[in-house]
């Protein structure tokens, strides 16, 4: 199976969907002639031309709104945000329009749009460029939220998201764009709402999404090698819809859960998972649900401290050990 980067996997998803469906178009800042700020769309403008791959001015609210309007008319916009942090100037369009129009029209309208871009800290750019809005966008019924961790998942989830008839907020990670992984040739889909057990284990469930999944996998290796603890790693892949069954099955098996989340702890994704476990897995648990999250402060700029602010494998190992 070919080994390609997370970036290439996304790129291939776009190229295949642009070729398959003439209603799909890409739009965003620097996506066309510049080849993408993070080179995810490299070469697509040359391949598909001005109509299908479109550079925009720095006007997130307007081009997000354009995407909603075009999607209402049956097009399938894939709108890039250079950073998900920049969505904050266009949240009215995402939440009030993309998120609510179907409901407020009594189901007369749907908005088949993908809004995508990186949403991560850890890149030494300070708080305004390091936001992770998956928790509060998932708090809007009407929106879907997807956070892939691997090249394989990135491609299959992106194709599903483009074909989905609802608005999908697709959150990538600049620290993962260069990661390599096996990706089959040709088109394939991964359903939204299906978690993936990335590592099987009997002793503790590590539940995460996005880059934190990789942190969990690294921690699991340390736990196995140094402590004889076999951790199961559950990758949520999509936050909404959420695959509760896989989470609950895993915890029923291991009887312990440690939630690892680069999102902030207060009202974060891990808070939702903790609530789920309290409500539905109480009798399965041999220990309290524990969390390792981003430290609850704006993303700090200073590089050594920034590394401390996000979960790392050692922090996960320590938290798991405290559970036994």
Partner 1 sequence: MASSLSLPTKPKESASGASETPDWSADRFNASLKPAEKIGFLREMLRIRRFEQQALKHYNNGSMGGFLHLYIGQESVAVGTASLMNGHDEIITAYRDHGHALAVGMGMNECMAELFGKATGCSKGKGGSMHFFAPDKHYWGGHGIVGGQVPLGLGLAFALKYKGIKGCAVAFLGDGAVNQGVVSETLNMAALFELPLVIVIENNGYSMGTSLARSSAVNGSLAKRAEGFCVDWSTCGGFDLYELRANLGAVMEKARTEFLPHVLEVATYRYYGHSVADANAKKYRSPEEIERYKADFDPINLWEKQLLSENVITREAIDAIDAEAKAEAAAAADFAIESPFPTPGSIFEDIYHEVDHQTEAGRTGRHFFSE
CB atoms within 10 A of CB 267: 12
Instruction: Name the one range near partner 1 by CB under 8 A: 101-109, 180-188, 210-218, 315-323.
Output: 101-109
Could you give the CA distance from residue 100 to residue 105 in angstroms, rounded to a whole number?
A: 9
CB atoms < 10 A from the CB of 242, how many?
Answer: 21
Annotated catalytic residues are: 60, 129
Virtual torsion, Cα 144, 150, 156, 160, nearest 10 deg:
10
Piece of the chain touching partner 1 by CB under 8 A; list 125-133, 175-183, 191-199, 308-316: 191-199
In angstroms, what is the minimal distance from the CB of 123 to partner 1? 27
Give, to the nearest 10 degrees, the angle between helix 269-280 and helix 244-254. Answer: 60
Span near partner 1 by CB under 8 A; candidates 1-9, 63-71, 213-221, 260-268: 63-71
51 binds partner 1 per the rule CB under 8 A: yes
Cβ 209 to partner 1, closest distance in Å? 13
**Separation of alpha carbons 292 and 228, rounded Å:** 21
Residue 45 is a binding residue for partner 1 (CB under 8 A): no
Is residue 71 close enough to count as binding partner 1 by CB under 8 A? yes
Cis peptide before 209 (omega within 30 of 0): no
| Minimum CB distance to partner 1 smaller for 214 or for 273 | 273
The binder of partner 1 chosen from 35, 39, 42, 109 (CB under 8 A)? 109
- Cα 133 from Cα 145, distance rounded (Å): 10
Which residue ranges make up the site for partner 1 (CB under 8 A)?
25, 51, 56-57, 59, 61-75, 92-93, 96-97, 101-110, 112, 141-142, 144, 160, 164-166, 191-194, 238, 240-244, 272
């Amino acid at each position: 199976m070919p080994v390609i980067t997370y970036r290439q996997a996304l790129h291939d998803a776009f190229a295949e969907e642009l070729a398959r469906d003439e209603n799909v178009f890409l739009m965003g800042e620097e996506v066309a002639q510049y080849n993408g700020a993070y080179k995810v769309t490299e070469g697509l403008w040359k391949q598909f031309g001005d109509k299908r791959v479109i550079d925009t001015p720095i006007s997130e609210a307007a081009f997000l709104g354009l995407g909603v309007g075009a999607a209402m008319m049956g097009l399938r916009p894939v709108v890039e945000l250079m950073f998900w942090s920049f969505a904050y100037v266009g949240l009215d369009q995402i939440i009030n329009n993309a998120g609510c129009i179907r409901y407020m029209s009594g189901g007369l309208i749907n908005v088949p749009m993908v809004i995508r871009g990186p949403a991560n800290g850890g890149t030494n750019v300070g708080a305004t460029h390091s936001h992770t809005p998956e928790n509060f966008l998932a708090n809007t019924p009407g929106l879907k939220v997807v956070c892939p961790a691997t090249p394989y998942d990135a491609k299959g989830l992106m194709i599903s998201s483009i074909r989905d008839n609802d608005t999908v907020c697709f959150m990538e990670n600049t620290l993962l764009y260069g990661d390599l992984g096996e990706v089959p040739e040709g088109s394939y889909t991964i359903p939204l709402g299906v978690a993936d057990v990335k590592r099987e284990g009997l002793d503790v469930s590590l539940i995460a999404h996005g880059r934190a999944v990789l942190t969990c996998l690294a921690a699991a290796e340390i736990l196995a090698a140094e402590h004889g603890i076999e951790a199961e790693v559950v990758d949520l892949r999509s936050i909404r819809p959420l695959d509760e069954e896989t989470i609950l099955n895993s915890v029923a098996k291991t009887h312990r859960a440690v939630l690892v989340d680069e999102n902030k702890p207060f009202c974060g994704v891990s808070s939702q998972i903790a609530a789920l476990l309290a409500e539905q897995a109480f009798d399965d648990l041999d220990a309290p649900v524990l969390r390792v999250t981003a430290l609850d402060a704006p993303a700090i700029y200073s590089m050594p401290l920034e590394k401390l602010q996000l979960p790392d494998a050692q922090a996960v190992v320590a938290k798991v050990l405290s559970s036994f």
